[in-house]
Amino acid sequence: MLIRHADAADLPFILSMAPRLAGVAQLPWRNDAEIMRFQRDFMTFCLSVPGSQSLLACAADGTRLGFIHVEPAVDSMSSETCGYVSLLAVTEDAEGKGLASALMAAAEDWAKAQGYGLLCLDVFASNERGRAFYARQGYAAETLRLVKPLS
């Protein structure tokens, strides 16, 4: 497995992971189309953030297996610039082999190289596998957004 910087040729692969990222949002008060539209818009926005970076995990033969997207952000508590992991996904077949862990390590290297003292991220509350993964990576919840549909 190899981790490399993404280029324009990787964009179709990155965008093809939108259904996978949207699929972990089990939010009964949202419909599938709304979640998918949010995911696509969010990805388009993240990929255009100045100073942001996508890193690809590939097999030895070049097959794309996963990616992470990192970007500069402002830490709301300290007001300092920090790193934000906006997107992380691994193909279903490549799960459980340490790819996401390796991508997170690469994200940390990127953040340290920028001089940041903090990395943060958002995760759908319903994404138990993702939340357990991040907890093992040393991430702790700082705020939780609660919603109540009004009908």
Give the interface with ligand COA as residue ranges (CB under 6 A): 20-21, 24, 88-90, 95-101, 123, 127, 129-130, 133
In the complex with ligand COA, which residue's Cβ is closer, 34 or 80? 34
Please state the closest distance from residue 61 (CB atom) to ligand COA, in A: 18
Place of tokens 């388009």: 44
Please state the closest distance from residue 124 (CB atom) to ligand COA, in A: 7
Please state the closest distance from residue 8 (CB atom) to ligand COA, in A: 23
In the complex with ligand COA, which residue's Cβ is closer, 45 or 78? 45
In the complex with ligand COA, which residue's Cβ is closer, 21 or 43? 21
Q: Are strands 64-74 and 81-90 parallel, antiparallel or unpaired?
A: antiparallel
In the complex with ligand COA, which residue's Cβ is closer, 78 or 126? 126
Burial label, 139 (beta-carbon count in 10 A; 0-12, 13-18, 19+):
middle
Buried-state track 96-116, b at ≥16 Cβ within 10 A, e below 16: eeebbebbbebbbebbeeeeb
What's the token pair of residue 64? 């794309």
